[in-house]
Structure 1
């Protein structure tokens, strides 16, 4: 039996890295968008987003016309000594963004957000939806 070393051309990720070293991060969808859970409760939406390695100051949460947008940026760690050689770089550096439509029955004034241990939690209270009224119009 012959054993193939793990760092061989048969490992697809390694093969892709060797063939297209500058393109891999462009196709890695997971690195561009954080993992998010959205739970709808009777009176609110609860959004939880994993943002590891992001500082609180680099997070922006906006709500506009029923769309909730979460943006975050991560910066490069430029600390590299002369003579150091990067062998593999998988951590994403740049802008992360996710946007969701939650509806128009949202109470924008009391949206709250907290960030602890790399996890962002946003609570968006709901208001009673306004029901469209109808009226019969007499044609003269």
Structure 2
């Protein structure tokens, strides 16, 4: 599996999260990356994504050529603005997206996903690969 860890120094947006947390929504207002965990088990990859406040019908999961993409949309709460003055608003509203490469040793047809209490869990079965073999090459 070829993944760059979320906490690597290459993660530019995370640097801004920690240094300037109040600027986050202004810098990338179009798309927000949900937090995920990826666990490699014997026969499956288990991916969990935090999607609080998202409706199950507003989530899309696509797997194509070894790349998994999770997309979701949260909707504005218009009720809040009608009933009173908003003093502080930190909850994200808009499009969420996360994409990463799992490799080609997966079974795309048998992927299963469930959504419970704001957590999306995706199980991607791995293909039984042949164990690496070595061959001596005769030099002529």
Fold equivalence (TM over 0.5) = yes
Query: Distance between the aligned counterparts of 1:72 and 1:63, measured in 2?
Result: 15
Instruction: Give the direction of change, closer, same or farther, for the CA distance of 1:64–1:75 in structure 2 (3 Å limit).
Output: same
SS at match of 1:81: helix
Q: Quote the residue 1:44 is aligned against.
A: 44
The list of structure 1 runs, each at least 4 consecutive aligned residues, that deviate by more than 2 angstroms after superposition, is 26-29, 128-131
SS at match of 2:72: strand
Q: Quote the residue 2:126 is aligned against.
A: 126
TM-score using structure 1 length: 0.70
**More relative contact order in 1 or in 2 (CA 8 Å, sep 6+)?**
2
Q: Quote the residue 1:110 is aligned against.
A: 110
Cα RMSD after superposing both structures = 3.0
**Which of these two proteins has the greater Rg computed from alpha carbons?**
1
Q: Quote the residue 1:81 is aligned against.
A: 82
TM-score using structure 2 length: 0.70
Provide the aligned length of Structure 1 versus Structure 2: 114
Shift of 1:42: 1.6
- 1:71-120 CA-to-partner distances (Å, cap 9, x unmatched) read 110000111326x3221111111000001100001101110000000010
Unaligned runs of 5+ in 2: 1-18, 132-140
Unaligned runs of 5+ in 1: 1-11, 18-22, 132-140
Q: Quote the residue 1:6 is aligned against.
A: none
Query: Distance between the aligned counterparts of 1:60 and 1:112, measured in 2?
Result: 13
